[in-house]
Amino acid sequence: MDADQNNPPKLPDALGSAEYRTRLTTKLNCLIAVLEVAIAKITKSMETPGSNEERLNKIRGNLENTLSICHRAKQTLDKTQQNKQTMRRDRAGQVMTARDYVELTSIEEYRKFRNMKPITQAEVEEIDFDELSRRLIDG
């Protein structure tokens, strides 16, 4: 189970394709534009005397909910693109794992710790815990 946690998150095969993500982004942008125009037309129709405001409000609500879903899908798609770029190999040819993203605050910190050697048993045995706790408490 620990091995799974250290692997980068898997993307669906289709989202792994830059061409597919580009086409999907284009379709989402078109759908968002159509929904925004439709909402504007419904809003304008509501100002017309004798319009069925209850029906138009329901239609506008449905369009706005669909628009909200499209915006979230676009944000997810954009994040997927950003994550693909971030997960590129670093200078040493290593890939940052999901655990690295959670535990480290920046790419600089990742690089710093990547270059450090593991702590040895001898170093652990040399620790003066009283001194360490005093330093931690004193800040």
Instruction: Report the predicted TM-score, pTM, of the whole model to 2 decimal places.
Output: 0.51
Nearest to 59 by CA among 82, 40, 81, 78: 40
Over residues 36-80, the pLDDT tens digits come to 999 999 999 999 999 899 999 999 999 999 999 999 888 888 876
In the chain, % of residues over pLDDT 70: 72
Structure tokens at 66: 């669909």
Burial class (CB in 10 A: 0-12, 13-18, 19+), 42: buried
> Residue type for 5, please?
Q
> In this structure, how many other beta carbons lie within 10 angstroms of the beta carbon of residue 38?
17
CA distances from 86 to 91, 106, 120 (A): 13, 11, 31
CB contact at 8 A, 121 and 28: no
pLDDT tens for each residue of 18-35: 788 888 889 999 999 999
pLDDT of residue 5: 46
Burial of 120 (0-12, 13-18, 19+ CB in 10 A): exposed
pLDDT digits (tens, 9 = 90+) for 126-135: 988 889 888 8
Residue corresponding to tokens 């799974």? 4
